[in-house]
Amino acid sequence: MVDYENEVKKYLDTLSAPNIAIIGLTGVGKSSLINKIFGNNIADAGAGRAVTTEYTKYSPNAFDIIDLPVNLYDSPGYEPGNEQEYFVKKTIDFLKEKSRQGKKEQIHLIWYVISASAARLTQFDIDILEEINRNHIPAIIVLSKYDIAQPHEKEEVKKVIEEYGFNRVYKIVEVAADPLTLANGSQICEPFGMKELVNLTTELLPQIYLDAFIAAQIVDIESKRELAWKYVREASIGCFSVGATPIPLTAPSATIAALSYMYNRIIVLYGHSNRGLLLAISGITLGGVLTIVTDGLIDLFSLTFPGISILTGGSAATFTAVSGMAFTNTCEILAIEKLTGTETEIQQKLREIFQEQFGKYSSLRISTPDDLDRMRKDFIDNNKM
């Protein structure tokens, strides 16, 4: 039997963790931004670990058992004033110290957060942004609280950014991570800008860190699906080099083991969601979720390829791709919906979801790797949940 929890941990150990620094003055909305993109309570008081007297490190958590490989370094709370030079120096020292520790520990990207309603950049902001530029650290200027800023405030802060030339050096994104709530409990607008920030981050981060970041963030489901397809394609392409393989109809665990590469990666993508953990369905562990889904794979295979007892490269690739797409859809559903009922009822519902999603693709056939590339558009662009 495959030890899924151990396999997932081993996979997470292979991912390279990006280091993202979130810098800004007190009250600009850094914690709200972190919590919205990586999950509620990530940046709550006491949740992080101090790495200096000024900076706190946070790591999003998956499955209640392991940190996802993304490191967030949050600057201290401070006000502009008499201590401005002190905090400028400490921030610059922090960035330089991280740089001296080598590529693995250096800051790979900065989110520099400025309140749009402030309508200005402090000298603190200017000094640090110029230092970031001199050290060639990729950065995004995040104009926070954009929902409550007046039009003239928005124009003024953008004007100052343009005057200093920061708009030619840094990407800029406007966000409202935690929109103003009215007395009746309604928000003046929906949160916005987080997906744009995620997209800009994936553009600026080195390629080696993208899988970890996409898995950790919770606001861009499309990027997760794109990455899931990469795993599905890799696993399916590998089938063509295996050759003809007998199907052990009495030993489904052999098939499960062959698909575990793909399943482990997909479940990491969806294990961390804005409504809690994928595994927050009572009584079912990580291994339980995968076992419930995969126990019926041999039956599904016999329905997909009736009468076939030898798995050729093409049929293996077809079965792997169909299983991967179905599992991705199942994880997306579970990341949004919390199943309720008894343990038996939940298990049955989980089986039904997977089998229904499997049925969506069961008529597909793959003969060559080119067929996978043609299949991608239907899976990514035309998927209807």
Contacts 24+ apart (CB under 8 A), 98-101: 98/19, 98/73, 99/135
DSSP states of 266-334 as a string?
HHHHHSEETTEETT-STT--HHHHHHHHHTTHHHHHHHHSTT--EE-HHHHHHHHHHHHHHHHHHHHHH
Q: What is the pLDDT of residue 282?
A: 37
Distance, first Cα to last Cα, the chain: 31
- For 307, counting Cβ atoms within 10 Å of its Cβ (0-12 exposed, 13-18 middle, 19+ buried), the class is exposed
Scored b (16 or more CB within 10 A) or e, 191-221 reads bebbbbbbbbbbeebeeebbbbbbbbbbbbb
Residues of the chain with CATH 3.40.50.300: 16-212
For 228-275, the pLDDT digits (tens) are 999 999 888 877 765 555 544 333 344 455 577 888 888 888 876 533
Confidence of residue 200 (pLDDT cuts 50, 70, 90): very high
Cα–Cα nearest to 328, from 204, 253, 183, 221 = 221
CB atoms inside a 10 Å sphere around CB 297: 19
Ranges 54-58, 133-137, 152-156, 291-295: which has the least confidence: 291-295
For 50-60, the pLDDT digits (tens) are 555 578 888 87
Residue 30 clears pLDDT 80, i.e. is over it:
yes
Q: What is the pLDDT of residue 56?
A: 86
Residue 76 clears pLDDT 60, i.e. is over it:
yes
Could you tell me the pTM of the whole model?
A: 0.83
CA distance 165 to 161: 6
Which token pair is 114? 């400025």
| Segment 367-374 mean pLDDT | 88
Q: What is the pLDDT of residue 82?
A: 53
- Selected from 3.40.50.300, 1.20.1270.10, 3.20.20.70, 3.40.50.450, the CATH number assigned to the domain covering 16-212 reads 3.40.50.300
Which token pair is 138? 């990729």
Element (H, E) at 36: helix 30-38
